[in-house]
Chains A and B, each alone.
Chain A
Amino acid sequence: MRCELITIKVNGEERTLAVAPNRTLLNLLREDLNLTGTKQGCDDGDCGACTVLVDGRPVLACIKLAAQCDGCEVTTIEGLAREGRLDRVQEAFWHEGGMQCGFCTPGMIMSSYALLQRNPHPTEAEIRQAISNNLCRCTGYTKIVAAVKRAATFAEFTQR
């Protein structure tokens, strides 16, 4: 199968990569770039564990082909902490206990991060809407919703 050459910026670093046309963005991240923080939960776009930001918008990496991301900027969970400091959303998920097994956590955080970027003061309904595409089987969601609320109350969101 012929590979395509794509240029993609991942967590601020520009890379040129040869990808097979059937390579998903998820497998590009996990297998080629070893960015395994982005999770594979269903491969069908049902669970949201693979949520990453493409040009700032939340996208399900398991149903996005890598070749479609030529020229795009991708942010994964590994790209949120800066200089060893957790992003406020990460901080809030940690201390609010918005996780158990941790497998849905990166996707939840990416969806929440995207929400707070476009809407720094969301209502609970807006929070629930924003993470409605992310399934969690452990926590029962309440502490996740609380974590996003807590993140929103932290100091103004630093634009990246």
Chain B
Amino acid sequence: MARYIGKEMSRVEGIAKVTGRAKYAAEFRVPNLAYGFIVSSSIAKGTIKSIDTREAERAPGVIRVFTHLNAPKFRNDPQDRSFRALQSDRIYFNMQPVALVVAETYEQARYASRLVKVDYNAEKHQTDTEALLASARDPSHGRGTRVRGNPEVALREAPVKVEAEYRIPIEHHNPMEPHAAIAFWEGDRLTIFDKTQGVYEVRRHLASSFGIPEEDVTVISPFVGGAFGSALRPNYYPTLTAMAARELKRPVKIVYTRTQMFAGHGYRPYTIQRVALGADRSGKLTAIIHEAVHNTSSFEEFDDNTTGFARQVYACPNLRASLKIVSTDLHTPTWMRAPGAVSGMFALESAMDELAYALKIDPLQLRLINYAETDPESGKPWSSKALRECYLLGAKKFGWEKRKFEPRSMRDGEWLIGWGMATGVWGAFQAPAAARITLRADGTAHVVSATSDIGPGTYTAMTIIAAEFLGLKPEQIKFELGDTRFPRAPLEGGSMTTASVGSAVHGAAMAIVARLLDLANRNEDSPLKGAAASDVELLDGRLQLKSDPSRYVDAFDLMKRHNLNEITETFEARPSREREDYAMLAHGAQFVEVKVHSELGIVRVTRIVEVTACGRIVNPKTAHSQEIGGVVWGIGMALQEATEVDHRYGRIVNPNLQHYHVPVNADVLEVETIFVEEDDKIVNPLGVKGMGELGMVGIPAAIANAVFHATGKRIRELPITPDKLL
């Protein structure tokens, strides 16, 4: 029986956050700091003809102005094609850095940045994915092209079919914290405070860029003010910051402006999808054809596997799901919360709703008819799958049975009421991760791993797991992360941190137990003689037999008797071999009520019930917050978020929080999140699956389906703004 896992706990880092003591990347105190400000290009493609920095250099406080003419070259790394700034006169995207002004104060650097004069040889650019469809190509990795059965023939012969195109605009993550770094050198050793979801990734990137050993780079990132994917890849400002610090022989800080973030870290790509579904008259799917195209940059290949998860949602013998990319003169896209999954499921789950109406079958019923009892892609059994329970519980909580099938059949005065639903899906990933535990004879433990906490509650979850398996109270545990001096952990992305790092913390705790047992059994009279490590547990300082707790050794006395003030164990957890025999996914069902103003086309999301099955829940308090946050991301994607590019100039025209609309509190009304726990012994020792991405996956489709139910209008292009409903 778990003491802490599954119980609500307030965040262990909560006091630091409510008092302002939590230090984010830009907030470390470093003496003699200089401030860098990035000057951005005003064209999308071409070359720099000339750049005049004289006036900027004469401005008060300016220390140096770096351009491609005087900035040192970073080492070329064929394994790492990510963009590095100031390396040539070539412009690949609008708002690309063309100069870096470093000054004594932020204001001086920002002022002088406006005095840098750049002349360009502009070339004809193309930033519009729609205009480039003829050049769409397969990503070079060749993933996901396998065809199941014969979808074209099956579609042709299907008695009922639907086919449509769906569009998703470019979207930006817009975490509240702007990206920032502070770098300083001690000889050839670099220390950098950075906003990142993976300190080891940044370390590798910097070491490779400067041609120095990885051990000579320390990356520190204890708090991250939201990221959602925008800090997964090493962005171009850490190399710039470290370069300036090395050249000037003093610490340098660079903080993106909100506007610079729009060309500073990637975005959800512009995505066009075509879905064709065929079914027999009973509703059984006979064909799924799901094709996607999205943009990448001209200098780098990126794809978010748009149609990947959608292959595994429904039992259907004939399926083709593909993704092609086109090169645009924009910065490279990147992963953004629920990458690929939310885009692909918007199209597939909208199409399923269209099919339900073509068949005149209740949309929930249609999902149940096509429920995948085993993985349709691999044929393997699921490690666990409680999606049916999610559907049924969600429908009950929502009152789905009272829904009238016909569109425009429910009304509240001037407001048309619509009810929609959709399925959510995400992975149950685990990556190799390591953690180190030091148990002290005073009854406390120090636990470290170089993972990240971008907000989900990693500090708290790891503290809970360590407390559980060391048999200590959470307040006796100190967990630290975000530092390359700690054991290696994967990027905090893909909702795999608790599975990966949690398994490492669990493993390190087990190693501590084994070590203590070995110490105990060196004594001939040990009450634990003959016990294996798996037979014993630590609880409140006792190393005891699980089957008979009266047989125990006081762990801290034991350590003292052996003159040990502390014992340390490091453990690397890897995904088990057993996982390969199963298909593993996390699922959810979303039920949404919208009210659409009949005259004005305004959409209000008045009620959402989201039921999620993602294994075991470590901390319900933070887990519910994650799911609510995901739901609200889904609302933003469905109704508000769009990065607008003026293709004449190849430039983003709304790069700020005034014109890029993220949900505000008035957009969020009733949201209920429910977990259906799954007892999954396959995925990892803790039985946890991904949840952070999952929360948003079905929401945009569920909202679009509800809007159809309210209005009779099928909106296939996000966001669903009033103009599309008038």
The answer to whether A binds B is: yes
Hey, which bits of chain A sit against chain B, CB under 8 A?
1, 20, 22-23, 27, 30-31, 34-44, 46-47, 49, 76-78, 80-81, 86, 90-91, 93-95, 97, 99-106, 109, 128, 131-132, 135-145
3 nearest CB pairs, A to B: A37-B20, A103-B225, A101-B455
Min CB–CB distance A15 → chain B (angstroms): 18
Could you give 9 example pairs across A and B, Cβ below 8 Å?
A42-B178, A44-B258, A81-B19, A91-B18, A99-B14, A136-B176, A138-B226, A139-B629, A140-B625
Q: How far is the CB of A22 from chain B (nearest CB, A)?
A: 5
B residues 386-419 touching A (CB-CB < 8 Å): none
- Which A-chain residue is minimally distant from B659 (CB atoms)? A46
Decide: B631 and A140 in contact? CB cutoff 8 A. yes
In Å, the complex CA distance between A100 and B622 comes to 8
Contacts of A91 in B (CB 8 A): 18
Interface 1/0 per residue, B1-24 and A, CB below 8 Å: 000000000110111111111111
B176 touches A39 (CB 8 A): yes
Give the segment of B74-82, B323-331, B662-670 that binds chain A.
B662-670
**CB < 8 Å neighbour of B665 from A42, A106, A109, A132:** A132
Q: Check B27 for interface membership: any CB of A closer than 8 A.
A: yes
Evaluate contact between B19 and A23: CB separation under 8 angstroms. Answer: no
Q: Is the CB of A1 within 8 A of B60?
A: yes
Other than A37-B21, A42-B657, A103-B175, give 19 A-B pairs with Cβ distance below 8 A: A1-B60, A31-B106, A39-B177, A39-B225, A46-B656, A78-B20, A91-B18, A94-B17, A97-B10, A101-B223, A102-B455, A103-B24, A132-B666, A135-B657, A136-B665, A137-B174, A138-B176, A140-B663, A141-B664
From B106, which residue of chain A is reached at the shortest CB distance? A27
The CA-CA distance from A27 to B174 in the complex, in Å, is 22
Task: Say how far A3's CB is from chain B's closest CB, in angstroms.
Answer: 11
Query: A101 and B176: CB pair below 8 A?
Result: yes
- Which secondary structure dominates where chain A touches chain B? loop
A93 contacts which chain B residues (CB < 8 A)? 14, 18
Tell whether B105 is near chain A: CB-to-CB under 8 Å. yes
Query: What is the total number of residues of chain B having a CB less than 8 Å from a CB of chain A?
Result: 60
Write out the residue numbers on chain A whose beta carbons fall within 8 Å of the beta carbon of B662.
135, 137
> Is B176 touching A99 in the complex (CB atoms < 8 A)?
no
Interface residues of B in 644-685 (CB under 8 A from A): 656-658, 662-666, 668, 671
Query: Which A residues are CB-close (under 8 A) to B17?
Result: 94, 99, 102, 105
Q: Which of B160-199 contact A (CB under 8 A)?
A: 174-178
User: For A22, A95, A137, which residue has the most chain B Cβ atoms within 10 angstroms?
Assistant: A137
Q: How far is the CA of A143 from the CA of B29 in the complex (A)?
A: 32
Interchain CA distance A50-B144 in the complex, whole Å: 46
* B457 contacts partner chain A, Cβ-Cβ < 8 Å: yes
The 0/1 profile, CB within 8 Å of A marked 1, for residues 452-493 of chain B is 001111000000000000000000000000000000000000
- Shortest CB distance A33–B (Å): 11
Find B668's partner among A36, A77, A90, A142 (CB 8 Å cutoff). Answer: A142
A90 vs B19: C-alpha distance in the bound complex, in angstroms? Answer: 7
CA distance A131 to B666 in the complex (A): 10
Minimum C-beta distance from B283 to chain A (A): 34
